[in-house]
Amino acid sequence: MSNRIWKILKENGIKELRPPQKKVVDRGLLNKNKNFLIHMSTGSGKTLIGEIAILNHLLDQKYKSKKALFIVPLKALASEKYEEFIKKYEKYGIKVALSIGDFDEEEDLENYDLIITTAEKLESLLRHRVEWIEDVSILVIDEIHLIGDSERGGTLEILLTKLKNRYNIQIIGLSATIGNPEEFAKWLNAELVIEDWRPVKLKKGIAYKNRILFINEDGDVVEEYTLTPNNYNSRNQLFNLVVDCILKDGSLLIFCNSKRKAVSESKKLNLKKYLSPDELNELKKLKEDILSVFDNPTETCKTLGECIERGVAFHHAGLTYEQRKIVEEGFRKKLIKVICCTPTLSMGMNTPCRRVILRDLKRFSNRGMVPIPKMEVLQCIGRAGRPNLDPYGEGIIYIDGSITVEDAKNYLTGPVENIYSKLSNHRILRAHILGLIASGEIDNKKNLEEFINNTFYAHQYGNTSKILKNINDIIEFLEANKFIKIDYKDDNKNKNDIKILTLDENNNITISHKKTNENYTITSLGKRISELYIDPLSGKIIIEELKKLSKKLERYNNKYLNTSDLKDYCTQYLLYSISKTTEMMPLLRVRNNEWDYLFKEMLKMDIDPDEDILRSLECFKNSKMFYDWINEVPESKILEKYGIEPGILRYKVEQAKWILYANKEIYALLDIEEKCLSDTLNELVIRIEYGASRELIELLKIKHIGRNRARLLYNSGIKNGEDILNNHERVIKLLGNKITDKIINCIKENKK
């Protein structure tokens, strides 16, 4: 390893490499032409191995113009890594960038050395044909086992297939849980390094009847620990496990199988009597931080604040980014002693603790209650044990009667599940085949099949007939919807045609010809849908609904004499139509007592339900939530009315913003000229982002003015930029000197 790399490591507190890190370096990590699959325990220092490999490229004078990519599974984790790498490496001249924005966003990443992103965002950048990809010499993928994830795995697989075959890039994959690492490493053409060393010993245990049975890798009990609940007078065994840990200066993560369960468990725990006066004061400050995330605290804010005041918090996708950051920081400072969470927290977030408790081993799915994969369980318990702070970590499965000791032992011993390719998923394939054709990487049937033969799917299953059948169906779908054109350029048609004999229901033989040499060309519509990074099926839905709405508006010009009323109808219909896209799944659940009134409202709006009436009603309910949002219904009322959490609402609004933008872009390519529709789309993109009424749009176009400031100004008679310039003193009284100056400077700049 070069002296410069060592100098940087030492200045960042790394005095020596841990045994597994040294092992990887000795096995050739610094050979820039050698891929690695690093299979090591959580907390063993896998990330630093990736960082050393990155420094090896970026500090090499021969690789002066080279770039490094660091891929993580979550935007929140990308932000965390960005902040960490900025502090560690920018002082050495390494320019660090974070790329997690909109898929169609223009980003200038040309002058950055280290780019932190997600697989989905990087895939969308490649579709925009970014030139700097040619300069990338190393790719580090954290949590690479997610290639087996049913939702995100296909994107990661396509991305790796592209990069490992087309570009001269060193690939470093990091994971703690792969059941078939040899098979996966062979596909990656990577050196496999397996190491179970941990900086802090992990004790695996099963808790029941106020006892913890710690077991070895064979499942034998090696230690029996009895709790002393008399010290804390509780019949709640989970509470006893918590207090037992914090009395020894430890902290805990309790993993639950749902957001609701995480909140419920948090509300049951009250640790006030075990906290010092200073800790209680600091927790009150954290509570105030939570309550001030929104102008008007939601019920979730209030519940979370009350839990935090007692030394406990919950953490799940329903929280906003700001709320999660406050909880994570409070936990790292050991003010919050316990976080009740969902398994998302196990995906690399920096939240180590003394004790991890698995509250549930099953969770609800569309197939009912199903077992949680062992891979996920081990990811969770791997959080236990804080280096330099804990003498050991404890990963405990809690038994409350729903499972047996033997069930728990099976989770804690033996290998994890194998990872399997999820590329055969029709929805994933649709989007990526269109993307491959749009980017020019695939232009005929032959090289499409060659690409598929290089995937992990082909490597794993050998027989690609099923996936090739899916691909033929998708190609036909893309052509039928005019996203691609197919040209048959056969020199000798008879020679290159395949005769297919089939029997009809009357046993008559029919002969059809299948062309073997198909050439693909992307259309302008297909290219734009690919760049927008939406499911081509969603593109089809958008096109159909825009055309349908355009015809309705032609008929309604006389019905709605008021332009505002016509726009309002158009708005409601668009919100319904975007709710039909696959990106909006899962939809809001429709209760039995809501069927009648939702159905009647749909008919009143001249919306014909699809064959699947329940799904149409779910789409319509979803659209009503968005309609409330853009008409400034208080967020707390929306959350209560639709039974969702703030983080879920924010996520759905972000998705709606993106799909509305896609509507606007696709509309521009269609042969439709409908002013009301065009104007409404332009307005909706702004209204959905800010959750604001139409009358505030002119103010919202001005930088530094959000919904609350816009409403304050509008209610005072200030409706646009000119009004702001002409009422300087009044604006200062409403918003203050500092922000008023910023707003006025922006207005003047725009005028120039």
- Residues at the annotated binding site for ATP? 21
Tell me the C-alpha distance between 387 and 573, whole Å: 55
Tell me the C-alpha distance between 154 and 457, whole Å: 10
Ranges of beta strands (E only) in 406-496 are 484-488
Long-range pairs of 438-444 with CB within 8 A, sequence gap ≥ 24: 438/127, 438/522, 438/526, 438/527, 438/530, 438/531, 439/126, 439/127, 439/129, 439/530, 440/129, 441/162, 441/166, 442/520, 443/519, 443/520, 443/521, 444/517, 444/518, 444/519, 444/520
Ranges of beta strands (E only) in 176-324 are 190-195, 202-208, 211-215, 221-226, 252-255, 312-315
Binding residues, by number, are: 21
Whether the CB-CB separation of 581 and 545 falls below 8 Å is answered with: no
CB neighbours of residue 626 within 10 Å: 28
Long-range pairs of 467-475 with CB within 8 A, sequence gap ≥ 24: 467/423, 467/424, 467/429, 470/424, 470/426, 470/429, 471/429, 471/433, 473/426, 474/426, 474/429, 474/430, 474/433, 475/433, 475/445, 475/518, 475/520
Would you say the C-alpha torsion 490, 437, 150, 449 has a positive or negative sign? positive
Class of residue 588 by CB neighbours under 10 A (exposed 0-12, middle 13-18, buried 19+): buried
Residue showing tokens 């989007």? 431
Show the DSSP H helices in 61-193 as ranges: 75-89, 119-127, 153-166, 181-188
Half-sphere exposure (Cβ direction) of 671: Cα atoms closer than 13 Å = 0
Whether the CB-CB separation of 16 and 45 falls below 8 Å is answered with: no
Residue showing tokens 């690479």? 144
Sheet with 355-358: strands ordered across? 221-226, 211-215, 202-208, 393-398, 355-358, 252-255, 338-341, 312-315
Q: What are the tokens at 111?
A: 């002058």
Tell me the C-alpha distance between 265 and 308, whole Å: 13
